[in-house]
Every structure is written in structure tokens, then in C-alpha cells.
Amino acid sequence: MKNTLLLVASFGLLVSQGFGYNTVTTNIATADATAVPILDNTGAAIAVGAGYVAVGTFSAAPSATTAVADIRSTFTAFGAGATAFSNGVGAPGFFDQKFGASIPQGNADAPVGEQAYVLIGDGATLAASLHFAILSTGGVFGTEDQFGNGELGQVFSAENIDSSLIYGTPMADVDTGLGLVFTNGVKLGEGGLVIPEPSTALLSLVGLGFLARRRR
């Protein structure tokens, strides 16, 4: 009986020692002009403690014209972590966020293998945000190693912002009042224009034609 209890205790105690699976993302690797400030739709840098930053997956790959409603409905945020803008230099427009959860080695369930996106909004939550930016370096979610460590980093700078910006307006020569001009910035967008279905457009034309005929 003693041996049995010891075995049970052993297996019961063997939880992961590691850091879990973390996604880390920042737009200020270096405090110089290569950092990429995030601006709201008015062009003002999003204040520390405001805004929304999350890392997660989309059920349908987003594009530059994805509608706001689709952004909200197809995004799944990963892990636990603070979503308001926070950074180590205390400057507006910059985030340095970490989101963690457990993805044990061998797990193949979502989001494992899916592309990770950084979703940025101007509200305190996803639902409260009206304007967005979507960034991705193309990295995909993996799993922890045998000791419970896993990480996916997404660092955005002037070097990679052009290839990473999926949604939002790219800006150049951005001055946020910090005494230097940033090479690049990103302004949150309102989403793509809603393109009417062909049948809807056709019906409109038919309706207009009908009205025109009656006037005659």
C-alpha cells in the first residue's frame, strides 16, 4: 500500500516546472526611430493604459478589407495577460505584452499550428473597439517543450512592419512629440468598405430603373 501511495503522489506532483506557453509582442524593441508607434483613428498615439492588444487566431484569415464586425466575430484571443497598452519606457503608442496559457508538448488542438496575429484596438476591450490594426510576423502557435517552456515572439519594427501589417493604415515619418521622428507608424483603421453582393447591387439598379420609368 505504501508503494502505491508513493506512486500516486509522485505522478500527482509532477506538474510542469516551466514557464508555460507564452506569446510576447512589442513594437518597441529599441527606443529609437525604428520603433513603430500605434496611432488611433485621429492620429494620436494610444496612451499607456488605454487601448487593446491581444494575440490570437482568426477563424478566417483577415485582410486589409475585413469588416469590423468580422474582425470581432472571427478573432479568438490566446492566453491570459493585460490587454491595455503597457511598455517599459512609459511612452504612448507602444506595447510590450505577454499572454500565457498551457499548451503541453504533444497537444495538437487549436491554436497549435495556426498563424498568430496581434490585434490592436482603440477600446478597452475587443467589443468596445471601433478601429483596429492587425499585425503578424507569420509565426504559428507551437507547444511547450518537455519541461513546460514555449514561446512565440512577435516583434515589430521599421524593418518588418511593411510585411507584417495586414490591417490598418501604414504611416511614415511619425512624430508623436517624443523628440524624434519615427520612420514608420500604424494608424488604426475602420475596416474595409462593405461591398454589396452582386444581387443586391443589381436589385438597386432595377429599382432605380423602375422609378425612372414611372417618372416618365
Partner 1 sequence: MNSLKAAAAFGLSALVVSSAAAQTASKPVGYETVAINQQFNTFGLRLLGAPNVTSTVGAVAGTTVTLDAAPSADGSYIVEVNDNALAGAVVTGTSTGADVVLSEDLSAGLAVGDSITLRATQTLASVFGTESTLTGAASEGAADLVSVPDGSGGFSTYWYFSGSFGGAGKGWRESGQVAGTIDPALVTLVYTDGMVVTNRGADNSLVITGSVKTAPTTLGLTTQFNYVSSVYPAGSTLDNSGLQSQLTAAASEGAADLVSLPDGAGGFSTYWHFSGGFGGAGAGWRESGQVAGTIDAALVDLTSGMIVTNRGDAQNADIVAPSFYADL
Contacting residues toward partner 1, per CB under 8 A: 6-7, 10-11, 13-15, 17, 19, 24-26, 28-32, 35, 86-91, 94, 96-98, 145-147, 149, 151, 153, 155, 178-180
Residue in this structure with the C-alpha cell 500565457, named with its chain if needed: 100
Residues counted in the chain: 216
Task: Output 19 or 107, the one with its CB closest to partner 1.
Answer: 19
Instruction: Give residues with Cβ within 8 angstroms of 200, minimum separation 6.
Output: none
Instruction: Give residues with Cβ within 8 angstroms of 31, minimum separation 6.
Output: 89, 91
Q: Which residues pair with 96 in a beta bridge?
A: 26
Task: Output 69 or 82, the one with its CB closest to partner 1.
Answer: 82
Task: Output 112 or 155, the one with its CB closest to partner 1.
Answer: 155
Beta strands in the chain (DSSP E): 20-26, 38-39, 52-58, 75-77, 96-101, 117-121, 132-135, 149-155, 165-167, 169-175, 181-187
Task: Output 80 or 203, the one with its CB closest to partner 1.
Answer: 80
Give the nearest distance from C-beta 40 to partner 1 in angstroms.
20
Give the nearest distance from C-beta 172 to partner 1 in angstroms.
19
Give the nearest distance from C-beta 85 to partner 1 in angstroms.
11
Task: Output 146 or 163, the one with its CB closest to partner 1.
Answer: 146
Give the nearest distance from C-beta 84 to partner 1 in angstroms.
12
Query: 103 with 142: CB under 8 angstroms?
Result: yes
